[in-house]
């Protein structure tokens, strides 16, 4: 007998599993299809984010930063020690345990909310039917009133550096090193490349980042990207801009990489090479030819502003559709879609999706950059506040970076918040909450912030927009 559900979700990543849980909470019979399995061959929910992305990378970032602090940052606090070492397999093992706990947690949430978890590969057929190919090769057809496509993304492969997951690895392989490579190469100076490069640099690797673009962190505010480049370079990352990789050759346990830069043809040898040039949507065998759903010119599922595809009752969310590839974007799209299935007029503000890079210092922003606003002809007032003037940051010996608030010069409405420094992700989220409700810089400046906190830096930057900062000298307006 064919199973029928109100909602069938293909993919159990941060978009898919959240959508499935929300649908069940709203009283819809729901199934979620996932094929990913862990090293033990067991179904592992949570997608890239929980298994090989956001969560495991943050576990390694935190562990490696604690090691760095123990080596170089404790003495100033009066903590004397000697002989601190890093047990890399133990660090990686801790990461694996965190992942296992969270993925099993999703399974528990499915059970608690009444979501039917189906193991296998899901494929959309015509008429909102879904074909599920089980691990044993058997095939089942499921009928649905609504289908949500949430298959996620995978690392982009590049011909000059074919991944073997041994010497040349992608972001997944870079999470599994059992020892610190002496010479580590990273292709790509984006979020993934900088985070993974930072992990292994802190543990002692000589890290070289090869970035094809001449501009560093092009999506970030110029002031932030300049500060980030300076800081990360000081930390030991050799970031080569305008370096386009043209080829590579693995010789035993090392790889020789060819690249071109302003000086011409170059060669460099690494013990490990991480390819981190971005991700692409997973659409392989996702759509039957007659299902009616179309892809755009870049291979993403075509959707409208509310994630509806060209087929009524079929939606797509997360990395497989336009926009930034971010777990929190996928989750909120999933909730929006389910709410709309229930007849609610839910929508999503794509202008206020925060971006975060979990290096140290953290880098985060929400809204528009100063350069983008000026290019649009918008007159702005800008306020900045350095963490070097923050009592809380000084107490923690973590004073690098600043908070930058950008407001419309005519209305004072906050248009962007950009942070590089301690707890940047948390501070930017405060800005995002205010911006969602149309806050002005004056509004932020009039709020009471607890003392001493890092949040006071946001308060002072907002005050500085209109020349009212207290704990730094204000710039004279022209």
User: pLDDT, tens digit, for every residue of 381-427?
Assistant: 999 999 999 999 999 999 999 999 999 999 999 999 999 999 999 99
- Distance between CA atoms of 73 and 83, rounded to whole angstroms? 14
Mean pLDDT for 82-104 is 96
Enter the tokens of residue 125. 């057929």
Residue 179 pLDDT level (bands cut at 50, 70, 90): very high
The predicted-structure confidence for 271-308, as pLDDT tens digits, reads as follows: 999 999 999 999 999 999 999 999 999 999 999 999 99
- Could you tell me the domains of the chain? 3-155+280-350 (3.50.50.60), 168-277 (3.50.50.60), 361-465 (3.30.390.30)
pLDDT for res 477: 61
Mean pLDDT over each residue of the chain, to the nearest integer: 97
Instruction: Please indicate whether residue 68 is annotated as part of the active site.
Output: no
Residue 368 pLDDT level (bands cut at 50, 70, 90): very high
Residue 121 pLDDT level (bands cut at 50, 70, 90): very high
Mean pLDDT for 324-333 is 98
Q: Which residue has the tokens 């559709």?
A: 321
Helices (H), 300-366: 327-341
**Contact between residue 223 and residue 231 where contact means Cβ atoms under 8 Å apart:** no
Enter the tokens of residue 13. 């990543």
The predicted-structure confidence for 421-444, as pLDDT tens digits, reads as follows: 999 999 999 999 999 999 999 999
> Does position 1 have pLDDT exceeding 80, yes or no?
no
Transcribe 61-96 into DSSP letters.
HHHHHHHHHHHHTSGGGT---------HHHHHHHHH
Residue 429 φ/ψ, nearest 5 degrees: -65, -35
> Does position 62 have pLDDT exceeding 60, yes or no?
yes
Collapsing DSSP to helix, strand or coil, 211 comes out as strand
- Distance between CA atoms of 12 and 152, rounded to whole angstroms? 9
From the list 360, 451, 459, 471, the catalytic residue is 451
Instruction: Collect all residues with Cβ–Cβ distance below 8 Å to 108 and sequence separation of at least 6.
Output: none
**Contact between residue 168 and residue 276 where contact means Cβ atoms under 8 Å apart:** no
Peptide bond into 452 cis (omega under 30): yes
- Distance between CA atoms of 219 and 208, rounded to whole angstroms? 21
Tell which residue, 126, 151, 142, 137, has the closest CA to residue 34.
151
Residue 160 pLDDT level (bands cut at 50, 70, 90): very high
Enter the tokens of residue 266. 């170059």
Contacts 24+ apart (CB under 8 A), 340-348: 340/306, 340/308, 341/6, 341/7, 341/23, 341/28, 341/146, 341/315, 342/26, 342/28, 346/306, 347/305, 347/306, 348/306
Q: How far is CA 158 from the centre of its chain?
A: 21
- Distance between CA atoms of 387 and 97, rounded to whole angstroms? 35
- Distance between CA atoms of 427 and 37, rounded to whole angstroms? 36
pLDDT for res 328: 98
Q: How far is CA 55 from the centre of its chain?
A: 10
Residue 81 pLDDT level (bands cut at 50, 70, 90): confident
Collapsing DSSP to helix, strand or coil, 248 comes out as strand
pLDDT for res 478: 52
Q: Which residue has the tokens 């000589």?
A: 206
DSSP state of 448: -
DSSP state of 54: H
């Amino acid at each position: 007998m064919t199973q029928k559900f109100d909602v069938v979700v293909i993919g159990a990543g941060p978009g898919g599993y959240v959508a499935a849980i929300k649908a069940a909470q709203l009283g819809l019979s729901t199934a979620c299809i996932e094929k990913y399995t862990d090293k033990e061959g067991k179904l592992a929910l949570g997608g890239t984010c929980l298994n090989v992305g956001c969560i495991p990378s943050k576990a390694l970032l935190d562990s490696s930063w604690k090691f760095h602090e123990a080596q170089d940052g404790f003495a100033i606090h009066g903590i004397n020690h000697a002989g601190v070492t890093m047990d890399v397999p133990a660090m990686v093992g801790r990461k694996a345990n965190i992942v296992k706990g969270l993925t099993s947690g999703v399974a528990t949430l499915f059970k608690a909310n009444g979501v039917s978890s189906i193991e296998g590969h899901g494929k959309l057929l015509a008429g909102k039917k879904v074909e599920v190919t089980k691990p044993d090769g058997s095939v089942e057809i499921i009928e649905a009133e609504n289908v949500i496509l949430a298959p996620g993304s995978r690392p982009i492969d590049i011909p000059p550096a074919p991944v073997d997951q041994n010497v040349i690895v992608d972001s997944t392989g870079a999470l599994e090193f059992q020892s610190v490579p002496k010479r580590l190469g990273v292709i790509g100076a984006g979020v993934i490349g900088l985070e993974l490069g930072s992990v292994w640099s802190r543990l002692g690797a000589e890290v070289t980042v090869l970035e094809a673009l001449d501009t560093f962190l092009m999506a970030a505010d110029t002031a932030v990207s300049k500060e980030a480049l300076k800081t990360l370079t000081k930390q030991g990352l050799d970031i080569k801009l305008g370096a386009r990789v043209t080829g590579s050759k693995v010789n035993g346990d090392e790889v020789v990489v060819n690249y071109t830069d302003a000086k011409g043809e170059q060669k460099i040898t690494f013990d490990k090479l991480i390819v981190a040039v971005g991700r692409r949507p997973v659409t392989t065998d996702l759509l039957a030819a007659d299902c009616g759903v179309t892809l755009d010119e870049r291979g993403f599922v075509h959707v409208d502003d509310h994630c509806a595809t060209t087929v009524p009752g079929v939606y797509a969310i997360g990395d497989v559709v336009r926009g930034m590839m971010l777990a929190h974007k996928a989750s909120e799209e999933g909730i929006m879609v389910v709410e709309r299935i229930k007849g609610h007029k839910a929508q999503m503000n794509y202008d206020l999706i925060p971006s975060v890079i979990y290096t140290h210092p953290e880098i985060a922003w929400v809204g528009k950059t100063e350069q983008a606003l000026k290019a649009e002809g918008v007159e702005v007032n800008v306020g900045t506040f350095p963490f070097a003037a923050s009592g809380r940051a000084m107490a923690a010996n973590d004073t690098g970076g600043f908070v930058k608030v950008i407001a419309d010069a005519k209305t004072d409405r906050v248009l962007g918040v950009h942070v590089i420094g301690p707890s940047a992700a948390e501070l930017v989220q405060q800005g995002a909450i205010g911006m969602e409700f149309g806050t002005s810089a004056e509004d932020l400046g009039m709020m009471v912030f607890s003392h001493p906190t890092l949040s006071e830096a946001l308060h002072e930057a907002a005050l500085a927009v209109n020349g009212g900062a207290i704990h730094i000298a204000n710039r004279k307006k022209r």
